[in-house]
């Protein structure tokens, strides 16, 4: 299992566009990918689940990736977060 931590720097937080980008990327991997905070997680392949977390600027995102392609998936998610949030 791989775990990624990231602090949101985007002033809008995770809104519809980045949530859609995360979900689209997560759907492309066989691994189970979860996103959230230390007390609430959601399936990263579901836009509504990501949006329901209401993550804002300054919040810490925790992403867990577990499965056969977890290394590749974790690198891709990490790059997406750094480039877009």
Please write the tens of the pLDDT for every residue from 12-69.
Answer: 999 999 999 999 999 999 999 999 998 899 999 999 999 999 999 999 999 999 999 9
Residues with a catalytic annotation lie at 15
How far apart, in whole angstroms, are the C-alpha atoms of residue 54 and residue 45? 16
Token pair 């579901």 is at which residue?
Answer: 46
CATH number at residue 57: 3.30.1340.10
Q: Which residues pair with 7 in a beta bridge?
A: 60
Does residue 75 have a pLDDT over 90? yes
Residue 7: per-residue pLDDT: 95
Residue 85: per-residue pLDDT: 87
The H or E element that residue 28 is part of is none
Residues in CB range of 84: below 8 A, 6 or more apart: 10, 18, 21
- Number of domains making up the chain: 1
Residues in CB range of 38: below 8 A, 6 or more apart: 60, 62
Residue 68: per-residue pLDDT: 94
- Domain of residue 51, residue span: 2-84
Residue 38: per-residue pLDDT: 85
């Amino acid at each position: 299992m791989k775990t990624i931590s990231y602090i949101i720097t985007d002033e809008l937080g995770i809104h519809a566009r980045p949530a859609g980008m995360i979900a689209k990327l997560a759907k492309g991997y066989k691994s189970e990918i979860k996103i959230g905070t230390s007390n609430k997680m959601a399936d990263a392949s579901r836009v509504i689940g990501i949006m329901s977390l209401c993550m804002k600027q300054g919040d810490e995102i925790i992403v867990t990736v577990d499965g056969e392609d977890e290394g590749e998936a974790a690198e891709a998610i990490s790059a997406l977060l750094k480039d877009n949030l």
